[in-house]
Structure 1
Amino acid sequence: MFVHCTIETHKEAGIRPSKTYQSFVAAADSHREVGFIEKYVRNHITREVRNISEKDNAKEFGKYLVRMKEKNQNFFFELNLEGDHCIKHAFWANARSRAAFDYFRDVVSFDTTYNTNRYNLVLGSFVGVNHHGKSTLLGCALMKNEDIQLFKWLFECWLRCMGGKAPKGILTNQCALIQRAIELCMPTTIRRN
């Protein structure tokens, strides 16, 4: 704890990591007695900066969604943070996506095969097909994990966004949890895998 506090105090004072490490060496009388190398000091600083940055990023993402809603009242979003610093789950759809669903809602694909590397979040997307046979995005979600309660929340949120109208069919990546969430939220929807 002393080492962490010293590193953080030195960082705030603008002392370089190499000088901070040298202060530990001087206090211990040798490199061998310190018990860690200079890279540990640098890694600790980097880790702390990344944690602060990720907390700020979640707040900034929330602010961005609010700004989008202010620009266009048809923009829809729901965001849930854990402890005000990381995303638990989020869903958003712009006005164009919501309008497209009214025209192209026969069959919708929902896919969660993508993960974000930096924040370790699952990316989910709702996609339809327009009258030209081209994919059209109908909404996106970020999720901390994949469980039945989260998928249930997501599909209920998506239904609210789309005015309570369910598609005739949903194509999924064959996850049993997704299938169960669809059954709970849209019992009359045909489910296709």
Structure 2
Amino acid sequence: MSTAAKSLVEKFGEEGLPTGKVAMMFNVGDQTFTSRDRWNHLRDVRGKNLDAGDASAVLNYCQKQQAQNSNFFYAIQCDDVGHMVNFFWVDARSRMAYQYFGDVVTFDTTYKTNKYDMPFAPFTGLNHHCQSILFGCALLQDETEQTFVWLFETWLQAMWGKEPKSIITDQDLAMGAAIAKVFPRTRHRLCLWHIKKKFPEKLSHIYHKKSIFKRELKRCIRESPSVEKFEEAWKSLILTYGLERNEWLEGLYNIRQSWVPVYNRNTFFAGMNTTQRSESINAFFDSFVNSRTTLKDFVVKFAKAVDSHYKKERKEDFDSRHKTPSLVIGSKIEH
């Protein structure tokens, strides 16, 4: 990669923009580089920026937590020269909660609020009050298949080998490949919200606020009572609007089993079909951390944020035991 390309990749990374667009600008003639080159460069930049004292402080903190409670779990992956590249941790409460509520997990890596701009990757689920609950999290140097395989295998070890029945993620190829390797028996579903968000961009000529196509597409995806009816409605839309050669829609159709609701009715998803639970966790952390937060401070503030979540759960437990629920229609069945 040229110096200019590296600089632009770094800038795009800082602003949260897709670094893949950099390749489109520079891949001319001999000036070509791959997505792996981009990820490797960002990983190297993060590695250089990561302060050794900060990494050591994180290790000391985790060792102290584990000494206080042997069920506190952490793992650190280092590169060839001993520098920390990936870090995973989960407290005892979250490990125990997973044994009860770990059937469905959402996983997301879009949050990057910390000093080193490392992706924050939480494993999120639902508890008995329909509240978001954490099953562990990681700070990563990159988002390659190799990194995800290490993370998923480490997380599975922390959860005593218990695989989730289903997992929801965004449409990331490296993530999907790692899930297939580590969780071969888990139903992998793509976040419907992330897919729908791309419709206005990919189909701007017919998909807009008041378009008939938008209403018909939504009805096809959301309201098809059977696989056969979905197939009929989808093919009808493609023919009616002349979309037979749209490669993006063809690609979506080829993976329809992983995102269209009617194909996933036989799998338990606890009412979730998006990664917004993970994203709500991310928004929650905004009140605890910022772009200047060091690694050590991030882990400490994360623990405080988790404590805050458990306080809300205890309040719900108390209310459910000692307060009369509000009845909607007054029928005995509500009791």
Q: In the alignment, is the contact (CA less than 8 A) between 1:127 and 1:138 conserved in 2? A: yes
Q: In the alignment, is the contact (CA less than 8 A) between 1:112 and 1:173 conserved in 2? A: no
The reply to whether residue 93 of structure 1 matches residue 94 of structure 2 is no
Which secondary structure state, in structure 1, belongs to the residue aligned with residue 107 of structure 2?
Answer: strand
Letter in 2 for 1:164: G
Give the deviation of 1:102 after TM superposition.
0.5
Partner residue, 1:27: none
Letter in 2 for 1:178: M
Partner residue, 2:121: 124
Give the deviation of 1:113 after TM superposition.
0.5
Give me the TM-score of the superposition, normalised by structure 2: 0.41
Task: Please give the root-mean-square deviation of Cα atoms over the aligned residues, in Å.
Answer: 1.7
Distance 1:173 1:77 in 2: 25
Give the deviation of 1:84 after TM superposition.
4.3
Gap regions ≥5 residues in structure 1: 1-50
Partner residue, 2:72: 75
Residues matched between the structures, number: 142
Partner residue, 2:102: 105
Give the deviation of 1:52 after TM superposition.
9.2
Deviations 1:91-111 (A, max 9, x none): 111000000000101210111
Larger Rg: 1
Gap regions ≥5 residues in structure 2: 1-47, 191-335
1:9-20, aligned counterparts within 5 Å? none
1:94-173, aligned counterparts within 5 Å? 94-173=91-170
Distance 1:80 1:168 in 2: 27
Deviations 1:103-158 (A, max 9, x none): 10121011101114421311100011001100001001011011001100100001
The reply to whether residue 65 of structure 1 matches residue 78 of structure 2 is no
Give the deviation of 1:175 after TM superposition.
1.1
Q: Using a 3 Å threshold, how does the CA distance of structure 1 residues 147 and 71 change in structure 2: closer, same or farther?
A: same
Partner residue, 1:181: 178
Distance 1:151 1:91 in 2: 11
Partner residue, 2:188: 191
Distance 2:70 2:143 in 1: 30
Partner residue, 1:16: none
